[in-house]
Amino acid sequence: MTVADDDKNAHVAGEHGHVPVMRDRMVELVGEGVTSPDAPDTPVIVDGTLGAGGHTEVFLEHFPRAVVVGLDRDPAALAQAQERLARFGDRFLAYRTRFDGLGDALDTLVDDGRLPASVREHGVSGYLFDLGVSSMQLDQAERGFAYAQDAPLDMRMDPELPTTAADILNNYAHGDLARILKTYGDERFAGKIASAVLREREVEPFSTSGRLVELLYRTIPAASRRTGGHPAKRTFQALRVEVNGELDSLAAVIPEATTRLHVGGVAVFMSYQSLEDRIVKKALADLTVDHTPPGLPVALPGSAPDFELVTRGSEKASDAEIEQNPRAAPVRVRAVRRIQQTDRDAQRGTR
């Protein structure tokens, strides 16, 4: 399960068994693909952001014929999910990869005989992408995602990535640091913070989150600290996105995932930041547009879109759910369904 940074940091200690955000709605949306007339006898669901496995567990319980492939770059998350979901046997398949590696993951699982060949020949029934950092990762203080407690400035979802948040703070030039704070964190004081970081790292390199939080309190004006949540929220978000290449992988995975849907299959995206939601919104709009050249009085044959939006705009959690699970407050959900298959996939160089 993935949640907004403020809510995550406020609840970072001592929480286990998290309730998946919009659990019932995710079952409903993904279920439209699993139960569609074109679904194979063994529908395949891909949970592209497995985490602790909460959503996957619900899918396996609700769809007894389905196999769920859980993707995650974090070996600790995979190990925890495999233990949690062991009772489902070979109906759950874990695979370590960033979610934009799903094509290679599916092909490998088919080649190994762990997935039916229909996945390659026919397609996937449903996807869920619950974007951002997981609650489980925030609960592990040593990962450095949470600004609510002092910890090493790591922030790598995959511990084998070469660059940590500390590396960025200690090595990036002023312009590059200010750019990521502004672009990925929407930080008004990006230039001022970057200048303060450069001065501070000359005294001593950054290594822990507590020192960065103290710098941010000193640098951001008091009037601005009183609104917009914790003053460290935007900087920590920007560093995490940069460390993990999150927006690049999101932009890459949407065409890869949707071209592997069978007719009737559904892809669902849960965003907690405006940056993510804008990428998803634009990509899904492009998928669902008519390809008739502008100015023609009627639609050309074969120009109708291959996909249609399942959600109207972005869906939000209900007031009742937010009251019981405050972590659901910022989520925005968008979903798309495949309605036909043309040769435009081949023209895009995909499956």
Consult the annotation and say whether 130 binds a ligand: yes
Consult the annotation and say whether 72 binds a ligand: yes
Consult the annotation and say whether 53 binds a ligand: yes
Consult the annotation and say whether 137 binds a ligand: yes
In 3D space, the residue among 305, 312, 304 whose CA is nearest the CA of residue 333 turns out to be: 312
In 3D space, the residue among 98, 36, 114 whose CA is nearest the CA of residue 106 turns out to be: 114
Which structure tokens are listed for 78? Answer: 């995979």
Consult the annotation and say whether 55 binds a ligand: yes
Annotated binding site: 53-55, 72, 99, 130, 137
Binding-site entries for S-adenosyl-L-methionine = 53-55, 72, 99, 130, 137
